[in-house]
């Protein structure tokens, strides 16, 4: 069954028909896979140093603070039912981390 441009069909329906994941799910999986990749890197690599570093001094602007990579990754782990306090152990095992990041959250 084809879809014409004037058909009023939601994006969710189109994605379901084509057996594709929504954009948010793809971004969550890629974010978490990158986090696992960075975690498995050597300590002297720049991406790992940036993810695990903290600013010594600094002042943020007024208003809601901008989300950091860590904040988004923690939120994504919660959505995928990954324990945020022990994710490092899981991320060390590449196959287990990949399985955990791809698993859909419980409804």
* pLDDT for 100 beyond 60: yes
Structural domain includes residue 3: no
pLDDT in tens, 37-72: 999 999 999 998 888 887 778 777 889 888 889 899
Q: pLDDT tens digits, residue range 9-37? A: 888 888 888 888 888 889 999 999 999 99
Residue 43 lies in a domain: yes
The predicted structure's pLDDT at residue 105: 63
Give the model's pLDDT for residue 107.
Answer: 47
Q: How does residue 6 score in pLDDT terms, banded at 50, 70 and 90? A: confident
- The CA-atom distances, in angstroms, between 100 and each of 2, 31, 82 are 35, 13, 7
Is 15 a member of any domain? no
**105 or 16: which carries more pLDDT confidence?**
16
Please check whether residue 58 lies inside any domain of the structure. Answer: no
Is 16 a member of any domain?
A: no
Tell me, yes or no, whether 10 lies in a domain. no
88 within a domain of the structure (yes/no): yes
Domain extent at residue 80: 24-52+65-107
Angle between helices 23-39 and 69-79 (to 10 degrees): 110
User: What is the count of structural domains for the chain?
Assistant: 1
| 92 occurs within a structural domain | yes
């Amino acid at each position: 069954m084809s879809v014409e441009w004037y058909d009023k069909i939601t994006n969710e329906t189109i994605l379901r028909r084509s057996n594709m994941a929504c954009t948010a799910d793809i971004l969550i999986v890629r974010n978490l896979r990158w986090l696992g990749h960075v975690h498995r890197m050597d300590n002297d690599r720049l991406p790992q140093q940036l993810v695990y570093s903290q600013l010594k001094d600094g002042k943020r602007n007024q208003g809601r603070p901008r989300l950091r990579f860590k904040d988004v990754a923690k939120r994504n782990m919660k959505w995928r039912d990954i324990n945020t306090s022990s994710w490092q152990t899981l991320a060390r095992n590449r196959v287990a981390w990949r399985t955990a990041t791809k698993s859909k959250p419980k409804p």
